[in-house]
Structure 1
Amino acid sequence: MMSAVSPRRPSPRKGFVLSMHVVTWNVASASPTVDLSDLLQLNNRDLNLDMYIIGLQEMNSGIISLLSDAAFEDPWSSFFMDMLSPLNFVKICQVRMLGLLLLVFVKYQHLPYIQIISTRSTPTGLYGYWGNKGGVNVCLKLYGYYVSIVNCHLPPHMANNNQRLEHFDRILESQTFEGDDIPNILDHDLILWFGDMNFRIEDFGLLFVQDCVTRQYYRELWEKDQLFIAKSHDPLLREFQEGALLFPPTYKFDRHSNNYDTSEKKRKPAWTDRILWRLKRQPQVSPLVSSLPTSYFSLTLKSYVSHMMYSISDHKPVTGTFSLELNPLMAVPLITIMPEYLWTMENDMLISYASTPEFLSSPWDWIGLYKVGMRHINDYVSYVWVGDNQVSFGNNPNQVYINLSAIPDTEDQFLLCYYSNNLHSVVGISQPFKIPHRCYLRDDEVCEPELRWE
């Protein structure tokens, strides 16, 4: 029975550690035609990731492409799901605004501890009416902590630095939330902000910048980076942290090569693609203290790199891998699906579950049956409305039936997930199990095979 969090990687001071991988990439209308294993660090056996946060800019946003993506899954989302779902990652959020796309994937074990609070799109192009520039974001509660994630595309060109900073502020100011119990974004425990920010390198000429890049003298260029300069005099921007830029500028390349712009324009290389974060101020923890305070949330950057091997765009993708240590404020799921009470009878499965006292159910809550390796929350093989199919009321455990007649006999592993309409999130999940082959009986026979838990 999954009744509490069992941290897979506890720290010496008993913190719960999650590993997150953040991707930002201006794909310049390209399709996902290459192997992205390196981008997603799938070949790194030392990593045991819990969460992927992926932000793309300049996806194909032509009218035909947008109509197709509205009717079907867009190619990039489908491509990432194809790669990550076999590894037990589930897409929990997708926010799209023209060429901007934000995706969040988590290992399914974490689903009951993540609530989607809000999603939002903030257009800043054409005086705030066009979404070719701007930001998309999701606000979620992660083990009880508020986390805001923003993918942005800011105005281009060297001369538009003030406009970039203005759009940064405008996107931040637009993050208001309904409900008195949701704090202002600046009071959230973590803001992850990334994208094609379009900041350029000032003063230095093209040949000097190219020479520094060739010699890997990146420090000489940092001091003239517009974002670095802006942080020195903007108090709010100064609160956002970034890793050291120890990789070549990620813009602008000739497509299908690692050569910087050889066109007539010969644009100067720049670190346009960035990953920033801002932590809410935490109380100082003495290394002599053996345990962490009740509320503790700390983020550590483990890797900040570009990926030169990808050349389908004029930008190189950038990734940041983080270690998030926290003391869970939410350690017990709102719904516990109880394996000892799960039975199949002919074509029905009896599901028993218990809820915490603070959980507010809705008539629109439902329980879905999924194959392990599901792509997203609507990827169920069967579901049941809790309110319409409940066979016991007011007691724990509650019980409902789900019909299995449409499910073929298979050796696949399955999961049950309880979806809360009020919270727009999964609030309970079973352990993986196999459904035994159904019995075909005479009228006077009884068959009640118990589910086999893995």
Structure 2
Amino acid sequence: METVSPLKPAEPRDRKLSIHVVTWNVASAAPPLDLDHLLQLDKQDPNLDMYVIGLQEMSCGIMSLLSDTAFEDPWSSFFMDVLSPLSFVKGNKGGVNICLKLYGYYVSIINCHLPPHLANNDQRLEHFDWILEMQNFEGPDIPNILDHDLIVWFGDMNFRIEDFGLHFVREAVKSQCYSDLWEKDQLSIAKRCDTLLREFQEGPLLFPPTYKFDKNSNNYDTSEKKRKPAWTDRILWRLKRQPHTDTCTPRRPAPHLSLSLRSYISHMMYTISDHKPVTGTFDLELKPLVSVPLISLMPEGLWTMENAMLINYSLTPDFPSSPWDWIGLYKVGLRHINDYVSYVWVRDNQISFNDGLNQVYINISDIPETEDQFLLCYYSNSLRSVVGISNPFKIQPQAFLEEDPLGEVQPQI
């Protein structure tokens, strides 16, 4: 049996991740035929590491609810049809608040749909504060949202334009004099007054108001209500501030984590809804707080005649292992964590462990005979997430194995 000596961890290098955030109130419409522009897939090299997609007003009729219980909803299915061939995987979280841990940093992602109508601004602000102050995550040592290193908040926030009449707003939009409208944008006004909201940043509103349009057109509302155009669909972010004892000195973002906005635009070409989608593309730069992954999976060279059933993996000393942890075998291009070809419970199938190196086996009958590429993923029950992913590999032709009556594994040529 091979042994692995622990290596001295190298000084962690700065990392840069590109994140593409999408918010869209789809007004119960079905997905359009093409979303390449929305996802930047029509670019030569989009250079994106993560998609964060938040939708509002997805169809929620009784038939839709019954269907979604048994099947994936059509919007999720459509997005994954496009993104899974590019090696993106949809997580298994529900609701509108997701906590991620990236290289030791806590990131909170919030998708919201705040109360509508011009007169309900106070109610919108109350909901905003309530979401931030009252939400807590289950799990070991996960801080409150406001203590996360980065918060990305987006959605149909429903903030409107005050004071100006319909004609003035439409003429300002037509002539692209957006700066005339910024001073009366309810969110911009609130950011000047609300201490908590003031900590959130937003890119410049250099695109037309995204609400309200006649469906299947680029015309603003021509119904009897003739609602004023407004920037209801927004993307905000907040970096955690470091405390300073000197109250006269402004607080500064943590020096090891920075977020820069690459683009903040709307997409007028999509007409299925009375809202236009908005995207923000960010570059997240950070110095990793952890130098090694919690779990390292090593499939290289394992799928041979001698050790076809073995999976080697190592784990950090402080990893919170559980009897319900499992390793899944997936084809490259998986859409969801439940798309495994086979899986093993790590405790039930463990055959050896030494200095952090562990071995488990997968029964030979569960390994498919195919030329596809595969991945191994380690799922942590304690952390409720995937904590280790192997590099892609091919399963080589191998001998068949079977157990003899004494329980010993014997090769069969």
Structure 1: 5+ residue stretches without partners? 97-135, 285-292, 449-454
Distance of aligned partners of 1:295 and 1:247 in 2 relative to their CA distance in 1, 3 Å threshold = closer
- Residue from 151, 157, 166 that aligns with 2:111: 151
Partner SS for 1:224: coil
- Report if the CA contact (8 A) 1:20-1:50 is conserved: yes
The one-letter code sitting in structure 1 at the alignment partner of 2:302 is L
- Report if the CA contact (8 A) 1:4-1:331 is conserved: no
- 2:329 & 2:8 partners in 1: Cα distance? 21
- 1:431 & 1:229 partners in 2: Cα distance? 49
Normalising by the residue count of structure 1, what TM-score does the alignment of the two structures yield?
0.81
- 1:303 & 1:261 partners in 2: Cα distance? 27
Q: How does 1:53-202 map to 2 (within 5 A)?
A: 53-96=52-95, 136-178=96-138, 181-202=141-162
Q: Does 1:233 align with 2:193?
A: yes
Distance of aligned partners of 1:6 and 1:95 in 2 relative to their CA distance in 1, 3 Å threshold = farther
The one-letter code sitting in structure 2 at the alignment partner of 1:37 is D
The one-letter code sitting in structure 2 at the alignment partner of 1:227 is L
Aligned sequence identity (%): 74
The one-letter code sitting in structure 2 at the alignment partner of 1:191 is I
Distance of aligned partners of 1:320 and 1:437 in 2 relative to their CA distance in 1, 3 Å threshold = same
- 2:254 & 2:203 partners in 1: Cα distance? 28
- 1:342 & 1:440 partners in 2: Cα distance? 15
- 1:403 & 1:265 partners in 2: Cα distance? 65
* Structure-1 residue corresponding to 2:25: 26
* Structure-1 residue corresponding to 2:272: 312
Structure 2: 5+ residue stretches without partners? 245-252, 405-409
Partner SS for 1:217: coil
- Report if the CA contact (8 A) 1:25-1:315 is conserved: yes
The one-letter code sitting in structure 2 at the alignment partner of 1:156 is P
How far is 1:311 from its partner? 0.3
- 1:68 & 1:33 partners in 2: Cα distance? 20
Partner SS for 1:54: strand
Segment drifting more, 246-255 vs 34-43: 34-43
Partner SS for 2:190: helix
How far is 1:342 from its partner? 1.8
- 2:145 & 2:386 partners in 1: Cα distance? 23
Distance of aligned partners of 1:294 and 1:254 in 2 relative to their CA distance in 1, 3 Å threshold = closer
Q: Does 1:412 align with 2:372?
A: yes
Distance of aligned partners of 1:325 and 1:158 in 2 relative to their CA distance in 1, 3 Å threshold = same
- Residue from 215, 227, 240 that aligns with 2:175: 215
- Report if the CA contact (8 A) 2:303-2:396 is conserved: no
How far is 1:439 from its partner? 4.0
Q: How many residues align?
A: 394
- Report if the CA contact (8 A) 2:304-2:397 is conserved: no
- 1:294 & 1:355 partners in 2: Cα distance? 29
1:217-238 CA distance string (max 9 Å, x none): 0000000101111111111111
1:119-152 CA distance string (max 9 Å, x none): xxxxxxxxxxxxxxxxx20112111101111111
Distance of aligned partners of 1:5 and 1:357 in 2 relative to their CA distance in 1, 3 Å threshold = closer
* Structure-1 residue corresponding to 2:166: 206
Distance of aligned partners of 1:339 and 1:401 in 2 relative to their CA distance in 1, 3 Å threshold = same
Partner SS for 1:67: helix
1:8-35 CA distance string (max 9 Å, x none): xx9xxx5210000000000000011320
Q: Does 1:388 align with 2:387?
A: no
Segment drifting more, 324-333 vs 19-28: 324-333
The one-letter code sitting in structure 2 at the alignment partner of 1:275 is I
- 2:322 & 2:47 partners in 1: Cα distance? 36
- Report if the CA contact (8 A) 1:347-1:438 is conserved: no
* Structure-2 residue corresponding to 1:333: 293
- 2:45 & 2:329 partners in 1: Cα distance? 32
1:181-240 CA distance string (max 9 Å, x none): 333321211111110010111111111111111110000000010111111111111111
Distance of aligned partners of 1:321 and 1:223 in 2 relative to their CA distance in 1, 3 Å threshold = same
Partner SS for 1:52: strand
1:424-450 CA distance string (max 9 Å, x none): 122222221101123469x9x9689xx
The one-letter code sitting in structure 2 at the alignment partner of 1:39 is L
The one-letter code sitting in structure 1 at the alignment partner of 2:39 is L
- 2:139 & 2:155 partners in 1: Cα distance? 29
How far is 1:409 from its partner? 2.2
- 1:244 & 1:294 partners in 2: Cα distance? 23
- 2:254 & 2:23 partners in 1: Cα distance? 33
The one-letter code sitting in structure 2 at the alignment partner of 1:171 is I
Partner SS for 1:405: helix
- 1:447 & 1:329 partners in 2: Cα distance? 48
Q: Pick the structure with more strand per residue.
A: 1
Distance of aligned partners of 1:28 and 1:301 in 2 relative to their CA distance in 1, 3 Å threshold = same
Q: Does 1:248 align with 2:208?
A: yes
Q: CA RMSD in A?
A: 2.8
Distance of aligned partners of 1:216 and 1:447 in 2 relative to their CA distance in 1, 3 Å threshold = farther
- Report if the CA contact (8 A) 1:294-1:327 is conserved: no
Normalising by the residue count of structure 2, what TM-score does the alignment of the two structures yield?
0.89
Partner SS for 2:343: strand
Distance of aligned partners of 1:440 and 1:381 in 2 relative to their CA distance in 1, 3 Å threshold = closer
Partner SS for 1:388: coil
Segment drifting more, 177-186 vs 338-347: 338-347
